[in-house]
Structure 1
């Protein structure tokens, strides 16, 4: 059998008149690992109508837990070192603990501020307020600034504070009680505590300051005020600068049972 094809048709094919237009292949989302690192987050949408900035989103433009950190802390060792060796803050059982709780409006929503704006607090020991989008991993730190751990309070955590010159035995006692009560804790020194009450526990809306550690008061405070933040989020954050001892799971990630060893 012979097939006859006209010269006109052959010419048309040769010049592309019957060729299909080229199209771009469909874009398929990449679900594997990026090597050596993911593409830039330059166009990530971080807007949040409730908090202004979405929490937990790592972006160099806003907060990646690595950039512009000196805005909150200048890395001064004075924030975690006691230089007054001859005048340690001695515990005094005559000084009673003080419990202070603030009336936070029911529909209050804390603002998340990027690392291009400073955050200041009216109180030396804030129990709520504006904070950074990325919160610290749970555990004990050489030092972590307030702008970070206030976010942990919002998630129901307990923050343990101690002045660097506080009595070491009392600090150890308080630490033991906290780490055996819940995983969701942050421990850090704070020089803004005074000599009379150089120890403190902080939760969302409440603070307990003290000179000496009384186990019953500590466990009762944690049982009554921990896990009461407006956002019940138990997962770790991305900030871990100067993390010394990561928190351990006691019952489960949600701390379903508080102070199970007491």
Structure 2
């Protein structure tokens, strides 16, 4: 019995000695020189943990989302996103095409997950009104282009997002922009080339979308007054993402937008 124990011990010692003679990457613990410490990455992720969203919102962090890294996960900086390459006549406003209002029933207990920039985010709807999005939301205002993975987070905070196809009628675009900008502070405006030629204009709020061929000020103001500020998270705090921001939003009534479209009268939006 004693002899067997001695032989076993010698075998274990020989195996350990063999490990010491192997290349460094097989014997270092927990990682070799120059390798990223996976334990540290886990620790950083835990610091970003949020019970409701998985990842905490509004935390600028290069290991997750700082508004600068891996932006190709949402879009490839392609000018087709914001430039018209088609015949604009296909997108002309038509008075016989009525607006379409879509409503999605979102359970009160629903909490949209946040994903870091190492993961892609896809949506089932062409114009999503809720869903997984990035931890950093957009600074309020008008953009040359802003991907939906950003403005969806703004919707969650009660914003109204104005979308327009790059080929939409310029007069209609200008009119809709003026109304939105004078209705509320919490707005985002961006081109969106997935809109149809029949209805190349849209307004989106949390759970609601309005698609239009042409602008009816009454319809637009009614949508904003009914559906703005209805996101599950009540905050006017501005975002952290501002890539391609053209014009930052101005306060209309106050930061909380207590009065929506205050300059709207029976004669329309006062443009001054």
TM, length-normalised to structure 2 = 0.80
Corresponding residue for residue 10 of structure 1:
none
Corresponding residue for residue 98 of structure 2:
96
Post-superposition CA distance 1:99-153 (Å, at most 9, x none):
0000001100000000000000000100000000000000000000000000000
Indicate conservation of the 8 Å contact 1:46/1:53, yes or no: yes
Cα deviation, residue 252, structure 1: 1.0
More helix by share: 2
State the Cα RMSD in Å: 1.3
Indicate conservation of the 8 Å contact 2:88/2:169, yes or no: no
Count matched residues.
Answer: 222
Corresponding residue for residue 207 of structure 2:
205
Does residue 1:175 correspond to 2:196, yes or no? no
Cα deviation, residue 45, structure 1: 0.8
Cα deviation, residue 86, structure 1: 5.6
Indicate conservation of the 8 Å contact 2:208/2:227, yes or no: yes
- Unaligned residue ranges in structure 1 (runs of 5+): 1-40
**Which structure has the bigger radius of gyration?**
1
Q: Whole-Å Cα distance in 1 between the matches of residues 181 and 90 of structure 2?
A: 25
Cα deviation, residue 215, structure 1: 0.5
Indicate conservation of the 8 Å contact 1:72/1:145, yes or no: yes
The runs of at least 4 consecutive aligned structure 1 residues that moved more than 4 Å come to 41-44
Corresponding residue for residue 56 of structure 1:
58
TM, length-normalised to structure 1 = 0.83
Corresponding residue for residue 267 of structure 2:
none
Q: Whole-Å Cα distance in 1 between the matches of residues 115 and 88 of structure 2?
A: 40
Corresponding residue for residue 151 of structure 1:
153
Q: Whole-Å Cα distance in 2 between the matches of residues 235 and 85 of structure 1?
A: 40
- Unaligned residue ranges in structure 2 (runs of 5+): 1-42, 265-272
